[in-house]
Amino acid sequence: MGLQLRKRIMSILRILWPGLWRDLVLNSLVSSSFFPKPLRPYVMRAYGMNVGRCSISPSVWFGSARISIGDGTFVNYNCMFNTTARVVIGSNCDIGMGVLFVTSSHELNGSQRRAGQPYAEEIIVGDGVWIGARATILPGARIGNGVVIAAGAVVRGNIESDAIYAGVPARLIKKLSVTRGGA
């Protein structure tokens, strides 16, 4: 099937049923263990995502096509990308099981209803980052290159390059030496 025909079919599907592609195809069929892992990035590109030569495990949920994943990046099982705003993940990153990328939240409101006006901010993850299992990356997080985020950490704001962060909220634990190449 030619590229132009595929694009036309995709645009018709998005118009007829906007949630069809995301919920039925991408987050159910393609995300299942039965779908060949090497083919996932190709289908994601057809949906409009900017993904390099990466590895996406089963049971990963994507909220929209507003995502960019660099070459050599690995995304483990049960991650969630709430993409109300854009999520950019650099090259050669390792994303642990169950990591949440949350791009939207609410302003703090009065006591009648604490969740006020919604807002969204993009998340940027640099190259060579390792994010441990069950970490939560909040709206507006900017994670520098070569960072290690400990399992279960909650990240918001700017995270400087080549360092280990852990805790709730994530705090600097240790600066790391800058090395290039393998161990």
Q: Distance (Å, rounded) from C-alpha 56 to C-alpha 77? A: 8
Active site residue 106: yes
Residue type, 153: A
Pick the catalytic residue from 53, 106, 174, 175.
106
- What secondary structure does DSSP assign to 70-138, as a single string? -TT-EE-TT-EEE-SS-EEE-SS-EE-TT-EEE-EEEEE--TT-SEEEEEE--EEE-TT-EE-TT-EE-
SS3 31: coil
- In the DSSP assignment, the letter for residue 21 is I
Residue type, 83: T
Q: Write out the catalytic residue numbers.
A: 106
